[in-house]
Each structure stands twice: as C-alpha cells, then as structure tokens.
Structure 1
Amino acid sequence: MQTVDARGKMCPQPVIMTKKAIEAGASEIKVIVDNAIAGQNVTRLLKSKGFEVVLEAENDLDIAVTGIKGDGPSEGEDGTSPSEDTRGRSNGPSGDSKAIAVIITRDILGGADRDLGEILIKGFLGTLHQLDDELIPETLAFMNEGVKLALKDSSTCESIIELEKKGCRILVCGTCVNHFGIADQVGVGEISNMFDISEAMLKADSILSL
C-alpha cells in the first residue's frame, strides 16, 4: 500500500498529491492529512476514481484516508459523457447551451453600501433558481467572504439549496471556511478545494465573477 503524507500541506496539495499517486498506478493508497476538510476532499477524489474508502484516526491529531481500487467504473468510464450535466443538456461546444460557472467572492453584491449589497445578492440568488433549467449555471463556487452565503442561518441558503436541487454543483472553499472558523455552519453544497474549483471554472464555457 502506498502512503501519501499530506500533513501540513495547504489546499489543494493533498488532493494533487493523491491524484499523482493514482495516476502513477497506485491501487491501494493511504493518505494522511491533518484536518477534516482535507480528509473530505481526498475521500471525494478517491471515490470519484472508483476507490472504496475508509476514514480513521491516525493519531490524536491526524486522519488517515485509505482507498482500495474497486471493480466499479471510475468517473467517465461508465459510458456517460462528461460533457452532459444532470439536467441532460450538452455543455460542449456543439451543444445548444453553454456551461456557465459563477464564482462569488463576497457576501454582498455591488459597492460600499452593505445594506443594499445584501438585498441585491439575496435577490440575485433568489431569482437564479427560478430561471428555466437551461439557464441554471452548471457550477456555483463560493470563495473568500462569499462562503458566508452558504451558511445554514444565512438568508440566501434556501435559494442555493434550490439551485442544487436543479442540478447546479455548489462548491464552498474549504480554506475559506477554515479561515473564518465556520466549517460546521455550512448548510449547502460540498466543502471543496482549489483544485476542484479551478477545474470547474476552466471547464466552463463562460465564467461570471461576482
């Protein structure tokens, strides 16, 4: 079994180190990390590559994520096209619709007037989930102060949940929620990493930054 020691590594290094080990042919892998969010990110990657995963405490401080390659198909190996999202529309250049990714880095929309900015961002997200399915973004990524919009007690959480129900992938920056100490308050989406967020942005046909 190959061991990857990712303790002390900043996001997204634990994911990248694990990905390199998989690409090098590892079928049994143990990844040691020092925080829960890194463990979740590594777990998600391993599962997407067809690994059966077990999480356990390595010691009082660290987490061991053990993955063993299963017989099932990995992501993209089951005959489905990676260019088709959960709403059944084609997101490639030849499709009728374009894949849109939205990245939100603030918890308000607009300039210095915070009260107005809170009203505008709530209105934007509340309107977004009511649009026709073909207009719903493929990915909505929250970074920096934008992660606060995905908290359980935020006025925008329900709208984001509705977007997720419509097939929009919700990515919440793990480094950011750790920085603000609010990881346990996230109420929607997946606590993600810079690797997944960057990949989602670069695969999109269009990116809207707020």
Structure 2
Amino acid sequence: MIKVNAVGEVCPKPVIMTKKALKEIESGVVEVSVDNQTSKENVEKMAKEMGHTFETKEEGNVFVITITKSGEKQENSSKEENIVISIGSDKMGDGEEELGKILIKGFIYALTEAETLPKTVLLYNKGVLLASTFEDTVKDLKVLEERGVEILSCGTCANFYHVQDQIKVGTLTNMYTILERQMKAAKVIKP
C-alpha cells in the first residue's frame, strides 16, 4: 500500500500526487488523505475515470480515499496530436484577479504533470508575463520546454508590457506564427 498525504495541498496537487502513486504500482492500493471536499471529489473523480475502484472514509477533518488498482492494463486512448495551449492573460477566468492568478499558476503546473503534453504553448497579451515576471510559472514553463513543448511569446505584447528583455523561457515570436500554430493545430485549448 502506498500512502499519499495531501492534507493542506490545494488543487491540482492532490490529484497529481495520487496519479504519481498509482503509476508506481502495477496493482494494489493507494490511500490518499485530503482535508477538503473539493480535493476529495477530484481524487474520487480521477480514480473513477481511470477505471479504479475506491472507498472514502471521513476521519475527523480528513477524508481518506482508498483506491484499488487492478493489474489490468487501462486503455490509453490518447494519441499524439498537435495540441496548442493559447494563453492571453496572466490570470484564468473573469472573476477576482487574485483567484485568477492562482488558477493560471495551477493550470500551468498541472500541465507539467499531464501525460499528454501540448506541442506548443502560445503566450500573448498579458500572458507574456507568465514567461517573464512570474517566477512560479517561469519555472513550470521551463519544465514543459525541457519536455519538448515549444513556448512562444508574442514580441509585440512583450514590447508593450516592457518585458521583452525579461523573457526567461521560450522565444519571442510574431502574430503570423501565433496564427499559423493555431491554424495547424488539431486542438487549441484556451484556459
């Protein structure tokens, strides 16, 4: 049995920690501890989507999810395709700015842990700040680049925000290349 202590961790870490533990075993049990309803539901959903059985118990303020992985191979339906992630902001969504910045940081971190990676991450408008002034996202974008993901930042946008000399990951590009990458993509994802 592998025990995963995700108490105190926020989305998407409990799911990522659980996936890593499940990858370590061919079959067996992974016991995950989380301390909030959202993490509990996310881990349960992930286990169900992966075809594993699970049981959840509440022990005080902690949910303990016991996931059983059988030795049967799960179908991997993901095929390699040209996926482009297109990010035009330094936040995710239209709500509170502070929450939006937390969400985009979590999205990019989750992307580093994804089994299927995009071919390209496009950063434009305030999205270029993710490759320059935001250290956490710079670090995660570097991980993606090391794994073969092309990171492109709009040069006009970098100039507009005065960060053209501060881009720490990937390369500067132009709107024609940004358009070309999106037109050739099998799928464009805009968080």
TM band (smaller chain): 0.5 to 0.7
Matches within 5 A, 1:73-92: none
Structure-2 residue corresponding to 1:111: 94
Separation of aligned partners in 2, 1:139 and 1:176 = 18
Picking from 147, 155, 167, the partner of 1:186 is 167
What letter matches 1:118 in structure 2?
Answer: K
1:172-204 per-residue CA deviation (whole Å, 9 max, x = no partner) reads 000000111110111000001111111111111
Matched, 1:157 2:138: yes
Separation of aligned partners in 1, 2:91 and 2:117 = 20
Matches within 5 A, 1:1-210: 96-132=79-115, 135-210=116-191
Gaps spanning 5+ residues in structure 2: where? 1-77
**How much identity, in percent, do the aligned residues show?**
36
- Cα pair 1:148 1:154 within 8 Å, conserved: no
Tell me the CA shift for residue 152 of structure 1.
Answer: 5.0
Separation of aligned partners in 1, 2:148 and 2:135 = 21
When the two structures are superposed, what TM-score results if normalisation uses the length of structure 2? Answer: 0.57
Separation of aligned partners in 1, 2:153 and 2:177 = 10
Tell me the CA shift for residue 109 of structure 1.
Answer: 0.6
Number of residue pairs matched by the alignment: 114
Tell me the CA shift for residue 111 of structure 1.
Answer: 1.6
User: Match of 1:191, SS?
Assistant: strand
Separation of aligned partners in 1, 2:112 and 2:135 = 16
Tell me the CA shift for residue 115 of structure 1.
Answer: 1.1
Aligned-residue Cα RMSD (Å) equals 1.5
Gaps spanning 5+ residues in structure 1: where? 1-94
